[in-house]
Amino acid sequence: MNGLDWIVLLGTMLGIAAYGTWRTRHTDNLNTYLKGSQTTKWGTIGLSVMATQASTITYLSLPGQAYENGIAFIQNYFGLPLALILVCAVFLPIYRKLGVYTAYEYLGQRFDRKTRLLGASLFLLQRGLQCGITIYAPAIILSTVLGWRVDLTIVFTGLLAIVYTVTGGSAAVNLTQKWQMGVIFGGMLTAFVVLLVKLPPDAMHIAGAMDKLDAVSYEPDLKQRYTLWSGLIGGFFLSLSYFGTDQTQVQRYIGGAALREGRLGLMFNALLKIPMQFFIVILGALLFVFYQFSPTTPLLFNQTEWRRQLDGPQAATFRAFEEKHTALHADKQEKIRAFSDARASADPQLEYTARAALAESQAASETLRNEARNALYAVSPEAKKTRDSDFVFITFILTQLPHGAIGLLIAVMFASALSSKAGELNALGTTSTIDLWRHFRPLAAHDEARNVRNAKWFTAVWGLFAIGFALFVSFAENLIEALNIVASIFYPALLGVFIVAFFFKKVGGSAVFYAAIAAQLVVIAIFALGKFFPAHEIGYLWLNPIGCAACVLFALALQPLLGSAKTSATAA
């Protein structure tokens, strides 16, 4: 990075944060602080919902995931539009009618206090952990690639988000996320255009021949993570959990001028979320093609750690890997050219033979990458903190984009980190204030100034918790998958509670409370079984319908044993 990149990066980041802080510095009304301005239009709501869910992990990790495994991850989102339709039809109208600050207030009105506290606690636990992951992801990667101290990167990003989120609350989050999404769209489009210019004309055919464009799998295999069925069913329940019961999302759309604005904002996401994610995974698949033609394709993309070993005591071992990689890469380039020539000849048999040879060459390269990765992990435990695939896109940015554009793309990474983190902190602060503080201090409910102060304190505390968690965390999973795995463990039971609340009016608080605890234990047991006995592991998306169904069935079974239900006129 040069001076121009730093000007673009710091100007973008500090400018947006300062703008949000200044515009919302006098937000003292509790309703505005927690829900945002009542004049917020559907476009701002839609962008805010999208920005809250699409963190830096989406833009850093997803292209690398597609680079390694193809675009099959897109199936994860197949159930999302259906989930958002249900949220618009059932969840949103009830939240708006009751005027609640949090989704868990509704559980208290529909059931009882302990169920409300359970729902809020599950959210705080899961989202508190994810908030730490959200700040950890860009910090560990950017610090590694750019040579920054990781702890200072984490602290700087976290404190910047805390400042304007605490100052302006939900109003500041909505306002800044609108501009942050503009930066993100502009930066990603810039990277995509530069990549297209550098690619050969038959790039898509090459990606297809190397199995990077297999978007849909019809296999009815529960062990396979991404299939049409896991996406439609498991993805539906996961999206319903995110958008219907996660306060980070609920808080983005329960404000606004009217019910119509919230619905249009959600439908905006229903229409654009899959195309946006498809754009990102295609970017990853094309990055794979680009690096097949590049003469300087690295064996591993975490070049900071790799170069350290090339200068270390085991340099001979790692240089041997480099030499073998150079030979295999040259051989694969020959196979790619042979495949392109075979396609041009219109001879099906020749094309089939060339494709098989290319697949064999690619398998040899992947075997070498795995061996090199394991060797790196053996001598450098620090390298285990991230997956190598998470460095693919940032490597392309730093080595292939012009100066100025590099600063813009790094700003994209920080902007998406700030936007999602701000939404998370705002929701954590709101839930802590409304569902915990005011629950145990009911007389304070009418002291609006005190509640605003408490919400600011809780927001800051959760921000510091996320920074602390990020300083010590590490992951073996691809980062975007790690987020969804955490959600798939903690959210299915919570979603089951809301499904019972909306659709089973005769079930009461005690039945659903114990059912949720039992369902949570079932999900944890299934997940743990798969980790200890891999032969019995199932794709994590399936945990969502299993946990939700278990909660509903347990509640229906327990209700006759536990007495009459507390019902509400708001129940569907």
Instruction: Note the pLDDT tens digit of each residue in 36-59.
Output: 555 667 777 777 677 666 666 777
Beta carbons within 8 Å of 24's beta carbon, 6+ residues apart: 164, 167, 168, 169, 171, 172, 175
Beta carbons within 8 Å of 444's beta carbon, 6+ residues apart: 437, 438, 450, 451, 454
Most confident of the ranges 135-149, 214-228, 512-526 = 512-526
Enter the tokens of residue 104.
Answer: 């868990």
Report how far residue 43's alpha carbon sits from residue 49's, in angstroms, rounded to the nearest whole number: 10
User: Mean pLDDT in the chain?
Assistant: 81
Average pLDDT over residues 536-565: 89
Residue (of 382, 104, 131) closest to 245 by Cα position: 104
Domain boundaries, the chain: 3-291+396-473, 303-385
pLDDT of 431 > 80? The answer is yes
141 and 409 Cβ atoms separated by less than 8 Å:
no
Q: What is the pLDDT of residue 572?
A: 40
Domain made up of 3-291+396-473: CATH architecture:
Up-down Bundle (1.20)
Report how far residue 108's alpha carbon sits from residue 435's, in angstroms, rounded to the nearest whole number: 9
- Coil, helix or strand for 363? helix
pLDDT of 559 > 70? The answer is yes
pLDDT of 567 > 70? The answer is no
84 and 239 Cβ atoms separated by less than 8 Å:
yes
Percent of the chain with pLDDT over 70: 82
Task: Summarize pLDDT for 452-499 with one digit per residue, the tens.
Answer: 777 788 888 888 888 888 777 655 556 677 778 888 998 899 999 999
Distances (CA, A) of 14 to 415, 444, 550: 10, 36, 47
Report how far residue 270's alpha carbon sits from residue 523's, in angstroms, rounded to the nearest whole number: 28
- Coil, helix or strand for 216? coil
Question: What is the CA 383 to chain-centroid distance, rounded?
Answer: 22
Predicted confidence band of residue 571 (pLDDT cuts 50, 70, 90): very low
Half-sphere exposure of 467 (CA within 13 A, CB side): 20
Q: What is the value of pTM for the model shown?
A: 0.81
pLDDT of 66 > 80? The answer is yes
More confident residue, 198 or 248: 198
Residue matched to tokens 């001076």: 3
Predicted confidence band of residue 570 (pLDDT cuts 50, 70, 90): very low
pLDDT of 201 > 80? The answer is yes
More confident residue, 306 or 140: 306
pLDDT of 392 > 90? The answer is no
120 and 433 Cβ atoms separated by less than 8 Å:
no
Average pLDDT over residues 551-560: 94
Q: What is the pLDDT of residue 518?
A: 96
Q: Is 312 left (phi over 0), alpha (psi -120 to 50) or beta?
A: beta
pLDDT of 558 > 90? The answer is yes
Most confident of the ranges 405-409, 436-440, 524-528 = 524-528
Q: What is the pLDDT of residue 37?
A: 54
Percent of the chain with pLDDT over 90: 25
Beta carbons within 8 Å of 300's beta carbon, 6+ residues apart: 306, 369, 372, 373, 376, 388
What H or E segment, with its residue span, contains residue 67?
helix 56-69
Other C-beta atoms closer than 10 Å to the C-beta of 143 total 17
Task: Summarize pLDDT for 121-156 with one digit per residue, the tens.
Answer: 888 888 887 777 777 766 766 676 667 777 787 887
Average pLDDT over residues 525-549: 90
pLDDT of 90 > 70? The answer is yes
Task: Summarize pLDDT for 249-265 with one digit per residue, the tens.
Answer: 887 787 767 788 888 88
Least confident of 240-254, 388-402, 436-450: 436-450
Average pLDDT over residues 318-334: 92
Q: What is the pLDDT of residue 477?
A: 54
Average pLDDT over residues 257-276: 85
Q: What is the pLDDT of residue 331?
A: 92
Average pLDDT over residues 527-540: 86
User: What's the N-to-C CA distance of the chain in angstroms?
Assistant: 56
Predicted confidence band of residue 180 (pLDDT cuts 50, 70, 90): low
Report how far residue 547's alpha carbon sits from residue 31's, in angstroms, rounded to the nearest whole number: 34
Q: What is the pLDDT of residue 569?
A: 39
Average pLDDT over residues 171-184: 62
Rg (CA), the chain: 25
127 and 119 Cβ atoms separated by less than 8 Å:
no
Residue (of 473, 522, 515, 500) closest to 566 by Cα position: 500
Q: What is the pLDDT of residue 43?
A: 73
Report how far residue 418's alpha carbon sits from residue 537's, in angstroms, rounded to the nearest whole number: 35
Other C-beta atoms closer than 10 Å to the C-beta of 345 total 11
331 and 361 Cβ atoms separated by less than 8 Å:
yes
Task: Summarize pLDDT for 348-358 with one digit per residue, the tens.
Answer: 899 899 999 99
